[in-house]
Structure 1
Amino acid sequence: MASVTASTTIPNWPAQSLHQLLPAANSANMVLALFSRGALRSSVAAGVSSKRSLSDVAITRTGKTILRTEGGRSSLGGHTATVFGATGQLGRYIVNRLGMFNELKRMSVWDGSDSLYLARQGCTVVVPFREEMTKRHLKLTGDLGRVIFVEYDLRNTASIEASVRHSDVVYNLVGRDYPTKNFTLEDVHVEGTERIAEAVAKYDVDRYIHVSSHNADVNSPSEFFATKGRGEIVARNIFPEATIVRPAPVFGFEDNLLLKLASVLNLFTANNMQEKFWPVHSIDVGAALEKMLYDDSTAGKTFELYGPKQYSLAEIAALVDKEIFKKRRHINVPKAILKPAAKVLNDVLWWHTISADEVEREFIDQVIDPEASTFKDLGIEPGDIANFTYHYLQGFRSSNYYDLPPATEKEKKEDKKYIHVLDEL
């Protein structure tokens, strides 16, 4: 996607550079492009930046004109994005970023450029959903008419095509940690991906961003990782320009990491919590997914999105205990016992507790593909999980400790106190 922005300082581009975009556009696009060209010439001649009502004009590879204007909550992003799996944990972050333009102030513990978090762009977001109650919170993520809900079924090709036919970017965040009575992991990660990718190819959508998982490998002993690997192959075979995203275990609101560790009284594992990985902040992943929309150089690439530091599950559990002032009981059960028991529980109970494949994954450490792109290629510096435990876990404290400062702040104060005493001596 070629993009011309006149709301910032204009570099010394040749006058004919924008003219190269015109053959792919229709007559209306030509008028808009010529208007932008005139604005560029006046800006370059004056040597100062110019602010127009059309702050950005972009032309996609299929010739579609994208207009962007800033107007607070009622901004116009120009893009139409379909987000499959938007009702999940990660989906809300990308829908919120695309749905409206507003300054999102970063917490003091975050690092990096605030410009990445002026994030809600005023795009029209199509949200395919299966159940009314799971998508209601997304109604507030955009202005009236910006977020459009379409009921769909992952096995119904017609409903999938109806969700993507008007879009210029499609995000596939559909995934499942465990099999259910209605859907196996193969149904979701492979066959579902195939239907979505075929719909994207049929309607010649400009961009397809497929969110997979770390350790995605067709030869993995874990069914989850194996089906994720097959899903990547299917997506690339059908749509070669697909962007593959492999996030590490994600932490944030309603995650399956910090909140799971903080909410249980007895923690059952099979590997003594020795599984190692690089946990990544959900907001950082959302920022990366948003940035891929505006950077066509990411098309056809594979991204490994992971945090700055490797942790074992035991180390994260210790962080959680320290933050909530509670000590949970850890019970290690041999794999030969816990895995079949987990399968029975997942098959019999109508609510999720644990599955056999989750037990298998405890014995697989995260492996990063050295050839894949990372946050660094997107200009994003990910945050460390240790800096966010207070923000996400304060609600799990008892009333006696609720107002105490974060554990890290207390440690800093203790260090300063001892240093002061030593200096006096």
Structure 2
Amino acid sequence: MSNIMSASANLLRLQHAVKQQGKRAYHDLVTFPSKKPIISQGPPGYSAVTGHVVTVFGCTGFLGRYLVSKLARQGTQVIIPYRDEDEKRHLKPMGDLGQIVPMEWDLRNESQIAECVRHSDIVFNLVGRDYATKSFDFPSVQVDGAERIAKISAQSGVPRFVHVSHLNASATSPSKLYQTKAEGEERVSAAFKGATIIRPGPLYGYEDKMLNNIAIWPIWWKLNDAKTRTRPVHVMDVAQALANLVHSPQQGRTIALPGPSTLTYEYLLDLVSSLTYHPPSSAPVIPKAVALAVAKAAQAVWWPLLSPDEVVRRYIDDDDTPADWDAVGVTPSEIEQHAIQYIRRYRSAENFSRPNVFPQRPVVSHDVIR
């Protein structure tokens, strides 16, 4: 009898909880920045419904996968445009049933872009390249492609547009990547009035091209005597900042998101060496002309090991623009807090469980030389 009474009490509590979850309150209704009502429902978390529909172009990239994860975990429906069937499979389990909607697209196909954005109340453009190919060079992706997505989003009535650029975007930069990032910002702002521009610093994380490459090819990070100054930022911090913009009414501004500290490549080389217990690289510093020649020769390979523009970027200090983390409600973390997670795999078996040892941080001047 007691078991039956207990089961009945649990059933009543469950029914009450379901009724409470089904209730709506005034704070569940959002109407900015358009007149379209956005109604959230359900308990916070994976199975909630925020009422937002978001399109993330570049979702299969490094930053994109973490943004999709954070959006889907909140209960946001995410449109994930993809080019390759295999590249988007890992995104499907990130959201509840029906919340992750894959759609095939091509950067040059305007009808496919329009189909990807026509139901969305915010569009993120994370599409970019750090090296040029025969099919997609820097201008076609980061200028023409960005403008096309912004223009079609505006024509489709999308209320908000967020474009991810780079901290070092500059029309006068010697790097073609940074030049096209700056031009892309101008084109996007002209095509979509009120677009938000995000300028993150160099990203690090599990699939990064910073800590992993330093552990594998330290010789290429010794260019410029490893004195180049950088402001690395955790990819999870930037992803959280972008996810927070979904619920923020602010738009039409440029937000810089560099890492909290300015470091040299020399310090990063020491950091990786200290954490992996590998001796510091004894390879000589390669002259810039030789590095450029090697990089140009490597372009003959289908997957370039090092592009000429990347060599140029090794000699450019990160911009010293003040950070705007308060605008996105995120406190960035230092690279020492997370580095071991991503480079522990490069330790030998006998060193795998040894304690972490961090090098002493040098004093770095903030007078950045462009």
Q: TM-score, normalised by structure 1?
A: 0.76
Paired residue for 1:65, among 37, 52, 57?
37
Match of 1:312 in 2: 264
In 1, Cα distance between the equivalents of 2:349 and 2:222?
A: 29
In 1, Cα distance between the equivalents of 2:329 and 2:119?
A: 30
Match of 1:215 in 2: 168
Match of 1:326 in 2: 278
Gaps of 5+ in 2: 1-19, 361-370
| 2:286 counterpart of 1:336 | no
Superposition map of 1:53-202 within 5 A: 53-54=23-24, 56-71=28-43, 72-99=45-72, 120-202=73-155
Deviation at 1:136, TM superposition (A): 1.1
Deviation at 1:270, TM superposition (A): 3.0
Identity %: 38
Match of 2:365 in 1: none
In 2, Cα distance between the equivalents of 1:319 and 1:175?
A: 28
Note if contact 1:324-1:393 (Cα within 8 Å) is conserved in structure 2.
Answer: yes
In 1, Cα distance between the equivalents of 2:153 and 2:60?
A: 20
Give the 3-state SS of the residue equivalent to 1:170 in structure 2.
strand
| 2:334 counterpart of 1:384 | yes
Opposite residue 374 of structure 1, the aligned amino acid is D
Opposite residue 59 of structure 1, the aligned amino acid is T
In 2, Cα distance between the equivalents of 1:61 and 1:304?
A: 22
Deviation at 1:152, TM superposition (A): 0.6
Deviation at 1:269, TM superposition (A): 4.4
Paired residue for 2:344, among 383, 394, 418?
394
In 2, Cα distance between the equivalents of 1:360 and 1:133?
A: 33
Opposite residue 53 of structure 1, the aligned amino acid is K
In 2, Cα distance between the equivalents of 1:269 and 1:398?
A: 23
Opposite residue 69 of structure 1, the aligned amino acid is Q
In 2, Cα distance between the equivalents of 1:345 and 1:383?
A: 35
Match of 1:232 in 2: 185
Match of 1:259 in 2: 212
Opposite residue 122 of structure 1, the aligned amino acid is G
Deviation at 1:352, TM superposition (A): 2.1
Match of 2:11 in 1: none
Deviation at 1:339, TM superposition (A): 1.1
Give the 3-state SS of the residue equivalent to 1:98 in structure 2.
helix
CA offset digits 1:29-80 (Å, max 9, x no partner): xxxxxxxxxxxxxxxxxxxxx9873361111333111111243421101100
In 2, Cα distance between the equivalents of 1:167 and 1:304?
A: 25
Match of 2:312 in 1: 360
In 1, Cα distance between the equivalents of 2:290 and 2:80?
A: 41
Opposite residue 23 of structure 2, the aligned amino acid is S
Deviation at 1:165, TM superposition (A): 0.8
Q: Please tell me the root mean square deviation across aligned C-alpha atoms, in Å.
A: 1.9
CA offset digits 1:179-226 (Å, max 9, x no partner): 012110011100100110111110111110000001101111110000
Opposite residue 404 of structure 1, the aligned amino acid is R
Q: TM-score, normalised by structure 2?
A: 0.87
Give the 3-state SS of the residue equivalent to 1:82 in structure 2.
strand
Give the 3-state SS of the residue equivalent to 1:296 in structure 2.
coil
Note if contact 1:276-1:311 (Cα within 8 Å) is conserved in structure 2.
Answer: yes
* 313 and 265 in structure 1: CA distance in 2 versus 1, 3 angstrom threshold: closer
> What count of residue pairs does the alignment treat as equivalent?
337
Note if contact 2:296-2:307 (Cα within 8 Å) is conserved in structure 1.
Answer: yes
In 1, Cα distance between the equivalents of 2:162 and 2:282?
A: 41
Match of 1:245 in 2: 198
Deviation at 1:361, TM superposition (A): 0.7
Note if contact 1:213-1:225 (Cα within 8 Å) is conserved in structure 2.
Answer: yes
